[in-house]
Copies of this chain bind each other. A is one copy, B any other.
């Protein structure tokens, strides 16, 4: 498939600067541009590449001012990142998509599978599981008995939905298992990355609400609840019974104690440790224990000077003792 810059601009409501007939047939990152490719410039760190890219066409925000001439054709748009996303969606929608239940998948006879579902080879769908229309289950996904998956849910390879929550009661000789008789509910439009784990609840449900996006290698413990449209980067961990609000953003490797509530629209930095309820909407937190980011980075800067501060403190003590003697 080949398109002209004009055709692309019309698709996404952009304005061409340069050769309207420039032809493109593929995508490329701006720093790896080549003839026939369309690239985009969104992150200002990559601006220098626009002057040297080999790509034929570059999507760029309307308000970016260029300081030198460029050899590529530009398509000016309101938001280059959104426009490239739209183009990639158009491109992906033209690609053939796998569908149906692969004969190498295991699907329990008592599972209820919706329409237009893809279940890959070696996926395991347990007894009583429900999977809504349009969902995609990749290889080596395990969905334990009784868990419910909504519509248009994507679960990438190796993720495990509904393994037992981690519940044991100590006695004299060791630990007794607390049976985990609850389930996992994953609502519509959720995407779950590879090798992520969402444990079933002790009783009741572990719930991943509508539109949540979880990256790879994340741990969601029993009885947790993640609010609508919250996104979490890779390797985040939630201890049991914690509730995360909607529209939160959580950086990679962050951890949450059990039984806490995180408010809607909270932003949690990478590697943070959140150990208590958060205050309210729009709060930002980073560090372990997590605090305000401005304070965190100021304190981190001072931390480097701690050894000097320690010496200075001792020096001041000495000088004050001298002063006291001589006053």
**Which residues of A are in contact with B by a Cβ distance under 8 Å?**
27-29, 32, 43, 45, 81-82, 84-85, 88-89, 91-92, 104, 106, 120-122, 124, 138-140, 142, 144, 154, 156-158, 160, 163-164, 166-169, 171, 173-179, 181, 189, 191, 193-195, 197, 199, 201-204, 210-211, 213, 215-217, 219, 221, 223, 228-229, 231, 233-235, 237, 239, 252-253, 255, 257, 259, 270-271, 273, 288-289, 291, 295, 297-307, 309-310, 312-313, 316-317, 319-320, 323-324, 326-327
List 5 other contacts, CB 8 Å, given A91-B181, A140-B140, A157-B160: A158-B160, A166-B213, A253-B255, A298-B306, A316-B320
Whether the Cβ atoms of A270 and B299 lie closer than 8 Å is no
Most buried by B among A197, A289, A324: A197
A319 touches B324 (CB 8 A): yes
Among residues of B, the one whose C-beta sits closest to the C-beta of A297 is B289
Q: With the chains together, A296 CA to B319 CA distance in Å?
A: 29
Given the complex, which residues of B lie within 8 Å of A302, measured CB to CB? 306-307, 309-310
A85 touches B169 (CB 8 A): yes
Partner of A317, one of B82, B154, B312: B312
Q: Please list the 5 inter-chain residue pairs (A to B) with the smallest Cβ-Cβ separation, ordered nearest first.
A: A92-B179, A142-B157, A174-B211, A160-B194, A219-B234
Interface centre among A81, A194, A201, A295 (most CB of B within 10 A): A194
User: Which residue of B45, B140, B319 contacts A122 across the interface (Cβ within 8 Å)?
Assistant: B140
Q: Can you list 16 A-B contacts with CB-CB less than 8 angstroms, sorted by A residue number? A: A29-B201, A29-B202, A32-B204, A85-B169, A106-B139, A121-B124, A140-B160, A166-B213, A174-B210, A221-B234, A234-B239, A271-B273, A295-B304, A299-B306, A309-B309, A320-B323
Given A169-B81, A312-B313, A327-B323, check contact A124 B306 (CB 8 Å).
Answer: no
A103, chain B: closest CB distance, angstroms: 10
B158 engages A195 (CB within 8 Å): yes
Bound Cα distance from A326 to B255, whole angstroms: 53
Structural contact, A253 and B237, CB atoms closer than 8 A: yes
Task: Report B-chain residues with C-beta under 8 Å of the C-beta of A169.
Answer: 81-82, 85
Q: Which residues of B contact A138 (CB under 8 A)?
A: 142, 163
Q: Are A195 and B197 in contact (CB under 8 A)?
A: yes
Contact between chains at A299 and B304 (CB < 8 Å): yes
Complex Cα gap A171–B298 (Å)? 33
A257 touches B234 (CB 8 A): no
Q: Which B residues lie within 8 Å of A177 (CB)?
A: 89, 191
With A and B bound together, what is the CA distance between A211 and B306 in angstroms? 40
Determine whether the beta carbon of A234 is less than 8 Å from that of B233: no
User: Chain B residues near A195 (CB, 8 Å)?
Assistant: 158, 160, 195, 197, 217
B237 near A203 with CB under 8 A, answer: no
Contact between chains at B139 and A124 (CB < 8 Å)? yes
Q: Are B194 and A197 in contact (CB under 8 A)?
A: yes
Flag if A235 contacts B233 (CB, 8 Å).
Answer: no
